[in-house]
């Protein structure tokens, strides 16, 4: 088995590592503005540490991304797109959509892991099995690809191991856009602000697989997961996360950890100190507001 953890176990429950804490304190000591919008604060809690370090020690980038605030609405729309929500009624300024950050990261690519801006929680392990043969991708919504997803997962929910399942998209189908919309492009630009460009490009290449048109939406088995209807809705509402742990040598099985996510509700116009730490969700049994707990245990 090969370790495919996207981050060290020290931050697996969004418990802040000493390195991240020191970087945030350094940002404040340098006189940087550290009262952030809630969504910007959340991105910094889960961002790659190399990217955080680049932002902290580059005054121009910090002022552009954090202090001047032109990206706050775009960051928020990234979350809305991930949650399959429409653009907010407050129209984003056209002057902010063309900004880009060009800092580089030397971090090697790893297995795709969607950027949850909520915090991670207690864990249970489950395994996905991959079977070979059959249609693996389609340029449109495909019942055959969905059937291959269910077959790969032994026609059982990847989390609860129950039947009566949906083939759920991991990266939302609506987030492909049609031929690559500006909203979708902004989504990937924002990821590159908080994770290394090479890593983000690797994630994107796993999702946009049409060699003739890399921006074209493509339905793939790799981007689908078998879930019961309830867990499918929970996944759409971002109340749990699945953390990759290890992959079998033949790439046929992937072991995951199940994490309930802590919902921290904040008003978008309030500011949050960068030094404020997210709630630890170690040993959490539910997300709250009717999300969880499960009855019984996962085998």
pTM (2 d.p.): 0.77
DSSP 158-191: TTT--SSEEEEESS-GGGG-SS--HHHHHHHHHH
Query: For residues 201 and 195, is the Cβ–Cβ distance under 8 A?
Result: no
Confidence of residue 69 (pLDDT cuts 50, 70, 90): low
Highest mean pLDDT among 27-36, 64-73, 206-215: 27-36
CB-side exposure of 54: number of CA atoms within 13 Å? 20
Has residue 106 got a pLDDT over 50?
Answer: no
The larger pLDDT score, comparing residue 247 to residue 283, is at: 247
What share of the chain in percent tops pLDDT 70? 80
- Per residue in 216-247, pLDDT (tens digit) is 778 899 999 999 999 999 999 888 888 899 99
Confidence of residue 273 (pLDDT cuts 50, 70, 90): very high
Residue 66: strand pairing partners = none
The pLDDT of residue 49: 93
Has residue 88 got a pLDDT over 90?
Answer: no
Has residue 84 got a pLDDT over 80?
Answer: yes
The pLDDT of residue 67: 77
């Amino acid at each position: 088995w090969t370790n495919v953890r996207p981050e060290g176990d020290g931050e697996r429950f969004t418990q802040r590592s000493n390195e991240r804490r020191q970087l945030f304190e350094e940002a404040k000591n340098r006189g940087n503005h550290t009262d952030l919008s809630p969504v910007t604060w959340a991105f910094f809690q889960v961002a790659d540490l190399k990217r955080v370090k680049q932002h902290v020690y580059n005054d121009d980038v910090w002022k552009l991304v954090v202090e001047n605030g032109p990206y706050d609405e775009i960051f928020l729309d990234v979350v809305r797109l991930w949650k399959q929500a429409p653009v907010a009624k407050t129209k984003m300024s056209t002057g902010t959509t063309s900004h880009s950050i060009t800092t580089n990261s030397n971090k090697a690519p790893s297995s795709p892991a969607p950027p949850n801006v909520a915090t991670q929680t207690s864990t249970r392990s489950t395994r996905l099995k991959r079977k070979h043969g059959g249609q693996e991708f389609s340029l449109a919504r495909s019942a055959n690809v969905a059937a291959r997803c269910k077959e790969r997962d032994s026609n059982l929910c990847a989390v609860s191991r129950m039947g009566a399942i949906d083939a759920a998209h991991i990266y939302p189908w609506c987030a492909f856009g049609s031929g690559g919309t500006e909203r979708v492009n902004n989504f990937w630009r924002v990821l590159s602000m908080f994770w290394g460009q090479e890593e983000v490009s690797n994630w994107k290449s796993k999702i946009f697989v049409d060699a003739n048109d890399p921006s074209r939406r493509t339905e793939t088995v790799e981007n689908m997961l078998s879930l019961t209807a309830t867990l499918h809705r929970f996944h759409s509402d971002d109340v749990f996360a699945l953390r990759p742990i290890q992959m079998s040598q033949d790439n046929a099985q992937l072991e995951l950890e199940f994490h309930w996510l802590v919902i921290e509700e904040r008003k978008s116009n309030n500011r949050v100190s960068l030094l404020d730490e997210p709630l630890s969700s170690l040993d959490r049994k539910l997300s709250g507001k009717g999300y969880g707990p499960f009855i019984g245990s996962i085998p």
